[in-house]
Structure formats: C-alpha cells, structure tokens
Amino acid sequence: MRVGLIADIHGNLDALDVVLADLPARSVDRLVCLGDVVALGPQPRETVARLRELDVPCVLGNTDDWVVAGAVPGPRPAGPDPVADLTHWCRSRLFPEDMAYLAALPPTLDLVLAPGCRLQCFHGSPRSHEDVIAAGAPEAELDAMRLDPAARFLAGGHTHVQLVRRRRDAWLVNPGSVGLPGVGPDSPYLAAPRPASAAEYAVVDVSAGRVDIELRSVPLDVEHMVGFARACGMPHADWWAGRWRAPARH
C-alpha cells in the first residue's frame, strides 16, 4: 500500500490543491491528514470542504482544538496577537457543520499497510497534540509519548519540519507543512523557522517486502496566495505573507 501523508494545512486551500494535483503521479492508495486543518489561513471553510469531499481521514491538531474551544491557550502578548486573532477569524468563517467535523476528529488513527505492518497517525504525539517529535529529541522523551510499540510507522505533524527518523523497529515520519511554513512550536530540538515557497507532504510505500519513504516539496505561486490573503479581508495578512518567501518582482 502507498499512503500519502499531509499535515498543517492551516486553511490554505491553494497549497492543498497543489499537493492534491501532485498526488496522482505518486499513485497513492490512501491519503491521511495529520491535523491543523483550518486555523491561521485565508480559506478555512473551503479547506474543510475539500477534505470532506475527498473523504480524507484526519486527526485533531492543536490549532483545530483552539478553533473548537474558541480560545488560544497560554499567556498571550499584550500587543498585536496574530495567532489568536487569526484563530478567531477562521472560526467565524466556519459553518456549524464544519465545527462539528473538527470537534469529532480523533486524536489518533491506525491504518494497516500490509499484514503485520501498521501505521499510527497523530498530530504531536499520541499523548498530546502539543508534543514535539524532532530529529534531536532524546529517546527518553519519546518513550513518554505513548508511541505504539507494535506500529511499524509513526506519523505526526505539528513541527512544520519534514523528518524521517529510525526508532528501534519503527520509522518516525513527519511530512512537513502543506500550508504554513516557518511556524512551529518552540523547541530546543528544532532549527529556527525559515520562509519557504513550497507545499510539503510525504508518501509511505510498503510493497513487495520493501519500504520506501519519500518527502515531497511542491512549488507554490506565493504571489497569488499572498494577494488572495490580502484581498479576502483576513487580519494580519502581512504577518501571514512573511511566513513565505517574498514573491518575485517583475
């Protein structure tokens, strides 16, 4: 079976559609979303509609939880707060059925890829959608995250950083971010965020006794995306534009 993994779409339908257009060439049998569907981007309602239209199974991400709860946890800055403001704006754009969809997302999903070969999906970790699994995270920290010891593949998002890491008899995979680069959790194990101009995803292939993991990066029309974000009335559009590489000047 070939499984496509996407994560951290963050209400960016343009980026999601670019990934969906790239997927047929990868011949995936199933697509799974690892959470953070709507918050912080210009097309939250449209993004939910696309995932529901395609019947893509999805787990609950931390920003999905914020949207459902109607609040961003933790101390917030005294001045401008793009994350909180955008979360509330995205929430205001959703229909009741969209809210019900997000509220029903499970924290984990399991998928059988082949006999005796199972994929466990989550956002941060099975313990918490706020957990960070990074290349440099110590094994002792991973041991506390309730990762399924019987799963051959463990797939999560949250960090916005692509990752393939061997852990005992399993592979840890992070497909990166579809729709919002350069914004992930603070962690000593992650490099400083950087602007980008591509949508990221991964493909896990288990067939004929072989395992292949491919990390994909698909170029985006950043100028078009930024123009739409500014035109649609999304607050903090300049902040959002700064997550992407500046569009070319002609």
Cα 41 to Cα 30: distance, rounded to the nearest angstrom:
25
Query: DSSP letters of the chain?
Result: -EEEEE---TT-HHHHHHHHHHGGGGT-SEEEE-S--STTSS-HHHHHHHHHHTT--BPPPHHHHHHHHTS--S---SS--HHHHHHHHHHHH--HHHHHHHHT--S-EEEEEETTEEEEE-SS-SS-TT----TT--HHHHHTTT--TT-SEEE--SS---EEEEETTEEEEE---SS-TT-----TTSPPP--B-EEEEEEEEEETTEEEEEEEEEE--HHHHHHHHHHTT-TTHHHHHTTBPPPPP-
Question: pLDDT at position 246, please?
Answer: 53
Give the CATH class of 2-71+80-241. Answer: alpha beta
Residue 77 has pLDDT above 90, yes or no: no
pLDDT tens digits, one per residue of 144-195: 999 999 999 999 999 999 999 998 889 999 999 999 987 666 666 676 666 6
Question: pLDDT at position 161, please?
Answer: 92
Question: pLDDT at position 194, please?
Answer: 67
Question: pLDDT at position 188, please?
Answer: 67
Q: Is the dihedral of CA 125, 34, 130, 141 positive or negative?
A: positive
Over residues 25-36, the mean pLDDT reads 96
Over residues 119-131, the mean pLDDT reads 96
Question: pLDDT at position 209, please?
Answer: 75
Residue 49 has pLDDT above 80, yes or no: yes
Domain ranges of the chain: 2-71+80-241
Over residues 22-27, the mean pLDDT reads 95
Question: pLDDT at position 75, please?
Answer: 79
Question: pLDDT at position 184, please?
Answer: 66
Tokens read off for 27: 């011949």
pTM of the model: 0.94
Q: What is the mean pLDDT of the chain?
A: 92
Please indicate whether residue 123 or residue 245 has the higher confidence score (pLDDT): 123
Question: pLDDT at position 34, please?
Answer: 98
Residue 247 has pLDDT above 60, yes or no: no
Q: How confident is the model at residue 249 (pLDDT cuts 50, 70, 90)?
A: very low
Cα 200 to Cα 7: distance, rounded to the nearest angstrom:
8
pLDDT tens digits, one per residue of 196-231: 899 999 999 998 778 899 999 999 999 999 999 999
